[in-house]
Amino acid sequence: MDTTLDDPLVGRVLDGRYRIDARIAAGGMATVYRAVDTRLDRVLALKVMHPALAADGAFVDRFIREAKSVARLAHPNVVAVFDQGTDGPYTYLAMEYVSGCTLRDVLRERGALQPRAALDILEPVLAALGAAHRAGFVHRDMKPENVLIGDDGRVKVADFGLVRSVGSVTNTTGSVLGTVSYLAPEQIENGITDTRVDVYACGVVLYEMLTGSKPHNGGSPAQVLYQHLNEDVPPPSALVPGLPAGLDALVAQAAARNPELRPSDAAALLGLVRGVRGGLGEGELDAVPPQALARTRTAAEDRTGVIPRAVDDQQPVLRTSRLESTPLAPSTSLAPSTPLASSAPPPPTRRLPRGPRRGPLLIVAGVLLALGLGTGVWYINSGQFTKVPNLLGKSEEQAKSQLSAAGLGVKRIDRKFSDAFERGTVMNTDPEGGKRIRGNGAVVLTVSRGPEVVGVPDLKGRPLEEAKAELTKTGLAPGIVTQAFSQDVARGSVISTDPAGGQRRAPDTAVALVVSKGRPIQVPNVTGRTLDQAREALEGLGLTVKTAGEQVNSPSAPGTVANQSALAGAQAAAGDTVTLTLSKGPRQVQVPDVTGKDLDTARRTLEGLGFQVKVDRPFLSFSDTVDSQSVLGGLNAPEGSTITVRTRGL
């Protein structure tokens, strides 16, 4: 049945510009339409938030955050956002329209992919995520549904709706937003979401492309979460025998349970992928995998959901919740899929008796509640009431601490712009300070995001860590850090920023930093010198000297420097290391017998072995035949040494 006919927006022109032609897919938070921009006469995808959610500030903020985040990326492998606006009850994003399918469609139809195809898809995905990571953002919901493959073969990453600033690494609400099959262990256990959670998800996606199956499968999302926490991702070759060991190692490193063992971001993982690919032969890349390997999975495993987690080691709280509704269904002509959220209010909480920390078992128990094994249990107290403390101007942590001391909890935290309250401080509470509330009640905190537009501070000359702290305090996010030489800025301090100091930007904008390597040092030529002489010359300039473990043959005398890692004349920074390789003298080469040969042949033969050739022609000799040579044929001579050949006389 075509539900497009029942959609009231189909056929309308939104915001006087976007003519909606057809509905692509719908979910709990938004509906995606194929539309035409009547001003520019181009087809695009229009993502429209459901009017019932437009009144919820948190949903609207998240919706708009997606537009702002993706619009900053401008990367060929990211689904572009063209516009964002509101028309009456409708809040929308105008996005690039991608005609094709999702990676999920490909895996559902084909199962395991050839290694070449899997890497061809993974590389542009990592390029897109690498751009996001360098800009200071984390995707947080990487999965095959969010990888679009166009009819022209282009690969694009969609749905940055869950994107967060790299600086916002910890979820403090007691829940984690994501899709259970691709959640990193630290997301589940601690709510930590830095660039390495995207790396973990890409490792899981690579495993799925190579095997046609997810690494962790269970009868319920709770079982999958438990496996993420307690079981390593198995090598793909265990399921598809014959896969190269390099691919096993790549999956193991990307999907390591310990985030410290993973590549630091998508760009670092892309470098590893290209290195592994370069080491594979054509036959290994094009090996045909066994088909029909895909395992049965439950629908809940592929949903983007709110996953409760333990939030207090001493007094754990299980929060009943419900998963957000499933991502948008695939279509033959696809716009980005959307992790969709329910608008239902959160159910009440259940406090367990004080006891030891349960770790993963507590998390699993919380997930079971989240999956609907009950509507929640009200904790009934003795009917006592208490006053809400006055929290205005307090930091978020101070407010939580005072509420906890009063026996109260935090129902939720809203964040709004304010010119009157500093960023990170409480600007309002519900109920207000001084109002009476039941002793086990919860308070809604509204925390200031600071001014809606903030000025970039002038950070020139500030040490890097101090500059990062100042950006965070101002409400901006430290972005990518690069290094450059400077004559007037001390090593380790900031030379410049992008945007520059004094410019105004929205909160959480990533600011790139250029940090000084100090004054450039011109590296001298130390080849041919003794090790002590070379060390003295280099260390005297502020460089660090390291000696290579093996010596090499060279024209230099034994024990002198044969090679240096930084070429003479190159620029280096104070503290940079120059590695010296010592000579074990020239290589001894057997001299051929060239007597009786013509001069040209003798010269080519000797020079071809690395010797210098000198010709000694007697007076009045007109012969071109070699009569004798300075080193007899069959004897050894140092490579590069001179062999004298003499022609016959009269």
Q: Is 369 helix (H, G, I), strand (E, B) or coil?
A: helix
Strand order in the sheet with 333-334: 155-157, 147-150, 98-102, 333-334
**CA end-to-end span of the chain:** 109
Distance of CA 446 to the CA centre of its chain: 31
CB within 8 Å of 527: residues ≥ 6 apart: 556, 560, 561, 562, 563, 564, 568
**Which amino acid, residue 460?**
K
Alpha-carbon distance of 150 to 208, in angstroms, equals 20
* 152 in catalytic set: no
Q: Which of 105, 141, 194, 198 is catalytic?
A: 141
**CA angle, residues 47, 50, 53, in degrees to nearest 5:** 125
Residue 429 corresponds to which tokens in the numbers above?
A: 């509470």
**Which amino acid, residue 381?**
N
User: Cis before residue 499, ω within 30 degrees of 0?
Assistant: yes
SS3 content of the chain, % helix, strand, coil (to 5): 30, 25, 45
Which residue bears the tokens 């948190």? 58
- 648 contacts 623 by C-beta, under 8 angstroms: yes
- 530 contacts 497 by C-beta, under 8 angstroms: no
- 606 contacts 590 by C-beta, under 8 angstroms: no
Residue 50 corresponds to which tokens in the numbers above?
A: 């459901």
- 142 contacts 198 by C-beta, under 8 angstroms: yes
CB within 8 Å of 60: residues ≥ 6 apart: 49, 53, 54, 91
DSSP 161: T
What is the DSSP secondary-structure string of 14-74?
ETTTEEEEEEEEE-SSEEEEEEEETTTTEEEEEEEE-HHHHT-HHHHHHHHHHHHHHHHH-
> Which residues are part of the catalytic machinery?
141
